[in-house]
Amino acid sequence: MTLVGAGPGDPELLTVKAIKAIRRATVLLVDDLVGEGVLRYARRSARIVYVGKRGGCASTPQAFIERLMQSEAQKGEQVVRLKGGDPFVFGRGGEEREHLRAAGLEVDVINGITSGLAAATSLGVPLTHRDHAHGVIFVTGHAKGADAQLDWAQLSATAAQGFTLVIYMGVSQAGQLQAGLLSALPPHTPLAVVQHASLPAQRHAVGTLGGLTHLIESEGLGSPAIIVVGDVLRGLAAAQGQQPQPLNAAAA
């Protein structure tokens, strides 16, 4: 069975390996954030199971998904688990693989383009431009459980040393992360929010850290979105009048 990164949504951003795996699949378990267009490569006879919120009212419990993958694989089906972006970037791909391995199944993993990269590229922003950043930090804005509490103040001190932040799942907790990041980063630090990166529905807004919650509210931005913070965004605010095109605009 194979965990496949479906990329950020635009099917043209799938890897060749991912397309081959999708074509081979007889059963596909599909996450919420997988772009519809990606399924064009599935066989007509393939069984497609939506295990995200759009398949029902609530998200399918993780344990159920893992059991289903296991039982289908044990029946001899070619099971592909399609996950948005990259399976190993905030996608619980690691947990799923552990479970399947514990059940004695062999699991392959195929990379996908993670949404944080697609979001930055759609804005034309080089995340590690050497004039502005030593590196980039991918971080979740949605820490779960007491022991997963993220120290935003600490993170902002690190970011202030010259690291770009790429924040996943941050929109719903924007107030909290904004307050935390302001402890070491100045309010005028450039920031961008990109929703539905790489899809025709892509929208973005550019502003500053001090204006984050206001920006999200006034632009009506929501999940799924990536928040990019750092000096690599300099110049973008000035060019904001020119709306960058979604990545797949050329193919349309």
Enumerate residues 102-131 that contact ligand SAH by CB under 6 A.
114-115, 119
Q: CA dist 211 to 92, 185, 189, 207, 214, Å?
A: 31, 13, 10, 7, 5
Q: Does 90 bind ligand SAH (CB under 6 A)?
A: yes
Number of residues engaging ligand SAH in binding (CB under 6 A): 25
Q: Which of 164, 168, 86, 169 has the alpha carbon at shortest distance from 127?
A: 164
Task: Please confirm, yes or no, whether 31 is among the known catalytic residues.
Answer: yes
Is residue 244 within the footprint of ligand SAH (CB under 6 A)?
Answer: no
Q: Are 212 and 178 in contact (CB under 8 A)?
A: yes
* Residue in 52, 152, 168, 180 binding ligand SAH, rule: CB under 6 A: 168
Distance of CA 128 to the CA centre of its chain: 18
- Stretch of 37-45, 66-74, 155-163, 220-228 lying at the interface with ligand SAH (CB under 6 A): 220-228
CA pair distance 97, 20, nearest whole angstrom: 20
Of 10, 69, 83, 169, which one is the catalytic site residue? 169
43-72 residues in contact with ligand SAH (CB under 6 A) are none
Q: Would you say 78 and 100 are in contact if contact means Cβ atoms under 8 Å apart? A: no
Among 29, 42, 139, 194, binds ligand SAH (CB under 6 A): 194
Contact residue for ligand SAH among 226, 232, 233, 247 (CB under 6 A): 226
| Strands of the 47-50 sheet, one edge to the other | 47-50, 27-30, 79-83, 2-5, 108-110
Interface pick for ligand SAH out of 225, 229, 233, 247 (rule CB under 6 A): 225
Q: Which residues are catalytic?
A: 31, 53, 169
